[in-house]
Amino acid sequence: MIILGIDPGSRFLGYGVISVHAGLMKPIDFGVLKFDAEIPLSERLQSIGQGVRQLMEKYKPQHVSLEKIFLGKNADSAFKMGHARGVIIYEALLAQAEIFEYATRVVKKGITGSGSAEKEHVRAVVTNLLKIGPVKSLDASDALAMACFHASQLRVIQIKKRLERSAV
């Protein structure tokens, strides 16, 4: 199975692609898509869509693990992130990938043991978990954390699906 983890944003979009086979995670690719803050949001959203479409076409993930929206100190940033998430979800659905959304605190807790872990701690755990060299971008390491956390949830997801089918 291929999982694409995404740390969404309207200026920086972190992505991390991993494969999972027999419970073992293997890194495939990670990075950041960057968008010019000087261009109108509508144009950035189009670029986000094009970038995510390229990721979907290149890696063909079955699952997309996406950070849930949160309202921080800046409502404007949250709204822009919401628009970006909408474009990401749309592109993932067009590619027939299943979408799974997780709160940042839940992912941090699942990866590091603490929901309030610093981004640098998440990065250190993820690079150790995947046995990869340094990941310069915190957006990319957050996206890898999304993918790794989702991989750890696959067994639970499969059990839930079986239970739902048997209840029908």
- Sorted by where each begins, the domain ranges of the chain are 2-167
List CB contacts of 68: < 8 A, sequence separation 6 or more.
Answer: 101, 102, 103, 104
Q: Which fold has domain 2-167?
A: Nucleotidyltransferase; domain 5 (3.30.420)
Q: Which are the catalytic amino acids?
A: 7, 67, 139
Answer whether 3's CB lies under 8 Å from 29's CB: no
Residue 87 confidence (pLDDT): 97
Would you state the pLDDT for residue 33? Answer: 98
Task: Compute the chain's Rg from CA coordinates.
Answer: 16
Q: What is the pLDDT of residues 7-28, one digit of tens each?
A: 999 899 999 999 999 889 999 9
Angle (nearest 5°) at CA 109 between 107 and 113: 140
Given a cut of 80, whether residue 29 has pLDDT beyond it is yes
H/E stretch holding 95 reads none
pLDDT digits (tens, 9 = 90+) for 90-142: 999 999 999 999 999 999 999 999 999 999 999 999 999 999 999 999 999 99
